[in-house]
Structures are given as C-alpha cells and as structure tokens.
Amino acid sequence: MTLAEVVLTDLANVLPALNKNIEMNKDLWKQSGGSARAEELDWSKHAEIDFKPEIILLADCVYYTESIEPLLDTLERLCGARNDTYALLSQEERDTPNQKPVWSQFVEAIKKRFKITPVMLSEQHPTYSSHDIRVLKLTLPSKDKKETQ
C-alpha cells in the first residue's frame, strides 16, 4: 500500500486532460489506497497553494526563458512547505537552437536557489531512463543547514 495523495497541476486549460488521465488510471491508484486530484497551478500567478507536498515531480517543464523565474518561485514555495519536501525534476536535454540556451539558463538559475543532486543514469530504472534525460533532486539549502545544526 502506498497511500499517496497525489495532486496533478497545470494551467486551467489542461485540467480536462489531467482529469481524464486520473479517471483512466483510477483502478491503479484506488488499489494503492491513495487518492488523485487535479488543480490549477499557474507558476506566474503567485496564487495560494493549499497543499503541502512531500515530493514534487516535474517532467519536461523547462522550455521558455520567461517561465524559469516563475517556475523556480513556485518550486521554492512548495519546497518550503514541509521540512522533508524535495523535488525530482526530469528534463529531456534538447539540441535545438531555441531549447539549448533555455536549459543552460535554467541550470544557472537553480544553482543559485537550490541544492542540486543529479540522479545518475545507473540509479534510474533501466527501461524508463535515457542518456538525454536529466533527473535532478532539488532541495532548499536552508533545509541542509537545519539538518546539520
């Protein structure tokens, strides 16, 4: 039993797709004894967030320069929710002239705000991993200080 309480978030126009996904997978998550729901969370709105996640999963969320700071602001707020909160970010490193600089800018920006622990390919699932997909564990540096005090 996992008993995970999962909240899927995205922009309002994507909520129907998230709800469809939740419905299609309901046998799986119901069997686990947990729950799943979808909520709007627009990184640029600085809206109230009424859940306190233990683990934040982000897949392929880095693709516009303009969204880097709003995304990191949101992530910082969510990572501060509990003492043990951390984020796992996965991102396909794309070679296109538009996407390459966005990833470099993102990496420079997260270094200033988070402790980054790369999840090595050898630690990842052999089927669900790829050499061009980065997986990073992110924690707030202030939490490290609390742990060592």
**Cα gap 58→88, rounded to integer Å:** 6
65 binds ligand SAM (CB under 6 A): no
55 counts as binding ligand SAM under rule CB under 6 A: no
Residues 66-85, mask of contacts with ligand SAM (x by CB under 6 A): -x--x---------------
Q: How many CA atoms lie within 13 A of 135 on its CB side?
A: 15
Site for ligand SAM in 13-32 (CB under 6 A): 14
114 binds ligand SAM (CB under 6 A): no
Which residues of 69-127 form beta strands (DSSP E)?
86-92, 115-118
- In the bound complex, what is the minimum distance in angstroms from residue 125's beta carbon to ligand SAM? 16
What's the token pair of residue 54? 């233990």
**Nearest approach, Cβ of residue 80 and ligand SAM (Å):** 18
Q: Is 63 helix (H, G, I), strand (E, B) or coil?
A: coil
> Cβ neighbours of residue 36 under 8 Å, at least 6 residues apart?
6, 7, 8, 22, 25, 26, 29
Q: Smaller CB distance to ligand SAM: residue 34 or 70? A: 70
Our CB check for ligand SAM shows the closer of 99 and 139 to be 99
How far apart are the C-alpha atoms of 11 and 149, rounded to whole Å?
Answer: 39
10: contact with ligand SAM by CB under 6 A: yes
CB 74 within 8 Å of CB 43: yes
Nearer to ligand SAM by C-beta: 11 or 28? Answer: 11
Is 8 or 143 the residue whose CB approaches ligand SAM more closely?
8
Contacts with ligand SAM by CB under 6 A lie at 10-11, 14, 41-44, 59-61, 67, 70
